[in-house]
Amino acid sequence: MFTAAEVGAALPGSGRTRDAPEELQVAAQAVRTRRPAEPGGRAAAAAAAVPPLGPACGERAYCLSVILNMGGAVSAGEDNDELIDNLKEAQYIRTELVEQAFRAIDRADYYLEEFKENAYKDLAWKHGNIHLSAPCIYSEVMEALDLQPGLSFLNLGSGTGYLSSMVGLILGPFGVNHGVELHSDVIEYAKQKLDFFIRTSDSFDKFDFCEPSFVTGNCLEISPDCSQYDRVYCGAGVQKEHEEYMKNLLKVGGILVMPLEEKLTKITRTGPSAWETKKILAVSFAPLIQPCHSESGKSRLVQLPPVAVRSLQDLARIAIRGTIKKVIHQETVSKNGNGLKNTPRFKRRRVRRRRMETIVFLDKEVFASRISNPSDDNSCEDLEEERREEEEKTPPETKPDPPVNFLRQKVLSLPLPDPLKYYLLYYREK
C-alpha cells in the first residue's frame, strides 16, 4: 500500500516522478488521468495500492472509488491515538470537536476480539452483518456533518454504533441521537458495545453524552409522520430515485451526508424547497437494500424513537455533574497554569550531544573530533565521572501513569449517601 505522500510525489509535475517505482508511477498516472486500468494488467494491480489523497489537494484529490471503500488513505497506527494523529496529518480530521470525539472512543472496542489487530489500520472491516467503514471515511463524514451540541441526528444503517457514539459525545445531553439498522443481530452487537462504553470508559465522564437509541428496520420504510432531523447520515449507497426521500428527513438548515452516485455527497437544506449540494470525494458503498413488502403488499413502516423529555431528577444529575466538572477544570487551571497541557506518552531520555569543534572532510568521509583547549580536562577519570553524573540526571524511560477519573473521585468524596453517589455516576463500574 502506497501512502498519499508517495502517490502525490509520483504524480506528473511533482518533480520526483522519475524517482518513484514504476508500479507507483503507473498508479499515479491512472489517478491523474482518471482512466480505469485494464483489468488484470499491471496498472490495475498498481492502482489497487492507491489511497485517496485528501480533500485539499485539487486534482490530486481524485481517487479510485474501489480504493476509498477499503481505505488506506493514511498509515496504520500502533494505537488509537496514533491513528488519529495520522488522520490529522493527512487533513481528514480538521476540527477540534471531531478530533476529541475520535480520541475518546477506541476503534478497537468495536471489533471482535480475533480481529482487533487490524483496528488501527485505515481499512474497512466486515464480518457477517457487522461492518465498519474506514477511519478516513468516518473522518470526512464527521467533518461534513458540522455537528454542534443540542442538534438531532439520524444514522441510517447505524451498524456497530461506533459513529453514533462519537456523534453523541458532541451532541451532549440535550441532543437527539437515533439510528436505524436493518439487521437485528447488529442492533444487539451495537447495544452491547454501547453498554460497555457507558460502564467502563473514562471518556463517558469527560463528556456530556447523548446516548444513541437504535431501532430495527429498513431505512427506506421510515414512517412519513416521523420528526425531521438537523443532521442525517446514510451509510449505504443511495440510488438516485431515493434522493428526495432522504432530503425530506431534514429540517430547514439541516445537513445530509450520503453516498450518492459513487460520491460522498453533502446536501444542505437552505429552505423548504431549496438545497445546496457538494461532492466531497469518490467512494464505493454497497447499495441500500430495497424493502421487502409483506404478503398484503404493504411495507412495514419503521417507527423512530420518540424524542424523550428528561425527568427533573435526570436534569439535576446533569447539572450537578456539569458543576463538578467546572470545579475540576478551575482547580486544574490554577494548578497547571492553563489546564491544557497534555502528558507525553513516554518520557524521552535526554541524549547528551558533545560539542565538536573541528570537522574534517576527507574525500567522501567526514571526521569529527574535539580539540582540547587549556580549560579542558581530558583525563579519563573526569570523563567517566561526567558520564555517571549525566546518567543520574537522566530519568529512565517510563510509561505515563494511567489516566485519573477526577469526576469519579470528586463524586465519591462528596458527603452524600452512597446510592445518590452511584446515581450521579450512572452506576458505572469504574
Residue positions annotated with a catalytic role: 133
Q: How far apart are CA 134 and CA 139, in angstroms?
A: 9
HSE value, Cβ hemisphere, 13 Å, CA-based, for 247: 20
Report how far residue 121's alpha carbon sits from residue 426's, in angstroms, rounded to the nearest whole number: 33
Do residues 180 and 188 make contact, with C-beta atoms less than 8 angstroms apart? no
What angle do helix axes 96-104 and 135-145 make, rounded to 10 degrees? Answer: 140
Give dist(CA 174, CA 211) in Å, integer.
10
| Residue 50 φ then ψ, to 5° | -95, 120
Hey, what's the cell of 155? Answer: 444514522
Which three three-digit cell numbers place residue 203? 471518556
Quote the CA–CA distance of 263 and 278 in Å, as a whole number.
10
Rounded to an integer, what distance in angstroms lies between the CA atom of residue 213 and that of residue 190?
Answer: 10
- CA angle 152–156–159, rounded 5-degree value: 110
Grid cell of 49 as nine digits? 495500492
Cα–Cα distance, 416 to 222 (Å, whole number):
46
3-state secondary structure of 259: strand
Residues 95 and 144: beta-carbon distance below 8 Å: no
CA–CA separation, 266 and 219 (whole Å)? 18
